[in-house]
Amino acid sequence: MVDLENGGSKPFGPIAGATVVASSSERLFEAVTGGNGKYSFSGIPPGKYTVRVTLPPKLSPIEEETVEVHDRGCAEINYNAVTDGRISGRLLDAQARPLKSKSVSLLPIGRGGEPLRPLWAFTEEDGSFQFKNLPPGRYLLGVNIAEAPDEKLPYKKTFYPSTPVQSKAEVFLLGEGQHLTGIDFRLPSPLIARTIQGQVVWPDGRPAVKAEVRLEDLESGRSAHWPAKTGTDGRFTFSGFEGVTYKMVATIPADPNWNPDSGNPVALLVSNAVEFTPSAQTKPVRLIINVDGDGIKRTRSTIGPRTTQKSRKKP
């Protein structure tokens, strides 16, 4: 079964009482698994067979397979099954229209009440989503639970039915093999996009050219955008959202002649960090490089572009 606390899966144990049918165009053979989960067919003539398994209730269905048996030969097919718990529904916008190709999060709650690793599913054309193979337990449904809002999903963290506060979210109690369906998850109005501009300078006011600026969503602690490089005037531009609090910081190699492809490490100078919440009146952000640095040398793999959690979402 799925192990939500540690990730991956763990053995469910032998499955007794499962019906296994092997059929060809001319013959049909049937067997039932024993207490050790094993089954076998004997005396089967050579040929191609379609093998279907009917599991006991509450276990996930298994797709049929095709196998060829040769004269005086044998074939082996093993199956793995998991608890067939499911949570499904539709993701809707504020006007109850379906949202397609959006990421929906499912947050399992551990035995001690602590949240576990979130699961993700993507909506179809009609806004439908489905989480399958879930073990029994407690779950919260939401969007951007552990991610920053972006242009594909411009919403703050929102839990079902429609709250940013986890303690006010509806808890779904899922029994073994139970299917919870027909959940309409209606989101609030999307966030208003705002352009974020600024400049990185040295302490004497000179523009810091080719500085790397990072934008972090303060609530999730996740990168909110790919890093931006400053131009010859030290300026940069980001897209963000009104009402979201961000933290911004700039870095630049201490050696202006450092070659990123050299493989050699370089000391990194870091600016002051600025926290702000964009609005229509937001002024350009000014970041000042600290020329003292932190004494740590880094390589290109450390200071180059990094992959954020957005890679989990559909392109």
Q: Are residues 97 and 75 in the same domain?
A: no
Domain that residue 165 falls in: 85-186
Q: Are residues 248 and 286 in the same domain?
A: yes
**Separation between Cα atoms, residue 156 and residue 135, nearest integer Å:** 28
Model pLDDT, residue 55: 73
The count of structural domains within the chain is: 3
End residue of a domain, out of 186, 218, 245: 186
Q: Are residues 211 and 280 in the same domain?
A: yes
Strands 193-201 and 285-290: parallel
Q: Are residues 15 and 73 in the same domain?
A: yes
- The per-residue pLDDT string of the chain (315 residues; one tens digit each, 9 = 90 and over) reads 444 554 444 455 677 788 888 888 888 888 888 878 788 878 788 888 888 887 776 676 666 778 888 877 777 777 666 777 899 999 999 999 999 999 999 999 988 888 888 999 999 999 999 999 888 999 999 999 989 999 999 999 999 999 999 999 999 999 988 999 999 999 999 999 999 999 999 999 999 999 999 999 999 999 998 999 999 999 999 999 999 999 999 999 888 888 877 778 888 899 999 999 999 888 999 999 988 765 555 554 444 433 334 444 443
Q: Are residues 244 and 289 in the same domain?
A: yes
From the list 307, 308, 270, the residue with the least C-alpha distance to 287 is 270
**Separation between Cα atoms, residue 5 and residue 1, nearest integer Å:** 12
The whole model's pTM is what? Answer: 0.71
Q: Are residues 197 and 294 in the same domain?
A: yes
Give φ, ψ of 314 to 5 degrees: -65, 140
CA dist list (Å): 201 to 98, 225, 248, 277: 46, 21, 14, 21
Model pLDDT, residue 295: 52
Residue 307 CB burial class (10 angstroms; 0-12, 13-18, ≥19) = exposed
Q: Does residue 20 fall inside a structural domain?
A: yes
**Separation between Cα atoms, residue 258 and residue 264, nearest integer Å:** 8
Q: Are residues 228 and 147 in the same domain?
A: no
Model pLDDT, residue 313: 45
